[in-house]
Amino acid sequence: MTEAVTLNVEELSMRFGGIHAVEALSFQVMQGTIFALIGPNGAGKSTVFNCINGVYRPSAGRMIFEDEDITGLGSHRIARLGIARTFQNLALFRNMTVLDNLLLGRNHYLNAGPIRGGFLTRRARKEEHEARLKVEQIIDFLEIESVRKQFVGSLPFGIQRRVELGRALAAEPKLLLLDEPVSGMNAEETEDMVRFILDINEEIGTTILLVEHDMGVVMDISDRVAVINFGVKIAEGTPQEVSVNPVVIEAYLGKGDKDQ
């Protein structure tokens, strides 16, 4: 396995008024790996994602993606550099088809602008063609051919999550951020999602950073795990090391493990 660092988070802090949501958090995601950030609800996991993909400007600290300092860049800029994410509470257009949602995920590739003065420019036509090919590949990969023309809002929750994963993949990210990818799923949907996450990592080679409050699933699929509680890292290591760490066990027992 390569030793290149894809994402280096250094002493990241994010405060909202008096709330220290994330406090001097550091971790490194190595290229080609699956890294999990876990912690009880309210620990600061989604806030970390919002800092990485430019929704929030951190109060302190730096984030280096490959060789570029992305701290304080806007979310479009960060997406263009190759970071895509899914959201804890799905971010899809429910009244649009699966196909169109995936095409939208491709949007930042559309440099030519789709329509100029009522007709497609040559460059736009080429981009549109490439987008459709890519999106069809993803539909195949995620096994959602049968619903490609259906409205997203009409689909079961587990499939909607898969579509959202497809929307993120359509951007062809180097780093994929997954915010609680299996929350609210039943056992079968969870098993499917886990398989797709592993396939994306192994077959496409995408580096993955995921956050989860439930320790179970991530332990099976992650190369490395960091645990945060109240915005502070309390442990890091292999899944095996972390799962037997008394400080981690205490953090989970102390807080309970409810869905929010």
Q: Which stretch binds ligand ADP (CB under 6 A): 35-43, 126-134, 232-240, 243-251?
A: 35-43
- Pick 33 or 59: Cβ nearer ligand ADP: 59
Query: Is residue 46 part of the contact set for ligand ADP (CB under 6 A)?
Result: yes
Query: Is residue 46 part of the contact set for Mg ion (CB under 5 A)?
Result: yes
| Residue 106 touches which of Mg ion, ligand ADP, none (Cβ within 5-8 Å per kind) | none
CB of 211 to Mg ion, least distance (A): 7
Residue 110's nearest CA partner among 53, 50, 170, 54 is 170
| Residue 105 touches which of ligand ADP, Mg ion, none (Cβ within 5-8 Å per kind) | none
Q: Which stretch binds ligand ADP (CB under 6 A): 43-51, 75-83, 183-191, 241-249?
A: 43-51
d(CA 231, CA 234): 9
Q: Which stretch binds ligand ADP (CB under 6 A): 15-23, 77-85, 132-140, 170-178?
A: 15-23
Query: Is residue 21 part of the contact set for ligand ADP (CB under 6 A)?
Result: yes
Query: Is residue 39 part of the contact set for ligand ADP (CB under 6 A)?
Result: yes
CB of 228 to ligand ADP, least distance (A): 7
Residues 6+ apart with CB under 8 A from 177: 49, 52, 53, 83, 84, 85, 86, 209, 210, 211
Query: Is residue 45 part of the contact set for ligand ADP (CB under 6 A)?
Result: yes
From start to end of 83-197, where are the E strands? Answer: 83-85, 175-179
CB of 32 to Mg ion, least distance (A): 25
Query: Is residue 47 part of the contact set for ligand ADP (CB under 6 A)?
Result: yes
Look at residue 48 and give its three-state secondary structure. helix
Which residue has its beta carbon closest to Mg ion?
A: 46
Give the β-pairing of 207-212 and 34-38: parallel
Give the per-residue contact string, 47-86, with Mg ion (x = CB under 5 A; - = no). Answer: ----------------------------------------
Q: Residues in contact with Mg ion, total (CB under 5 A)? A: 3
CB of 45 to ligand ADP, least distance (A): 3
Look at residue 239 and give its three-state secondary structure. helix
d(CA 138, CA 144): 9
Distances (CA, A) of 152 to 27, 95, 156, 168, 208: 36, 6, 9, 15, 25
What is the tally of helices (H) and strands (E) in the chain? 9, 10
Sheet holding 224-229, edge to edge: 83-85, 175-179, 207-212, 34-38, 224-229, 232-237
Within 10 angstroms of residue 214's Cβ, the number of other Cβ atoms is: 15
- Pick 29 or 131: Cβ nearer ligand ADP: 29
Q: Give residues in contact with Mg ion (CB under 5 A).
A: 45-46, 88
Rule CB under 6 A: which residues touch ligand ADP?
16, 19, 21, 39, 41-47
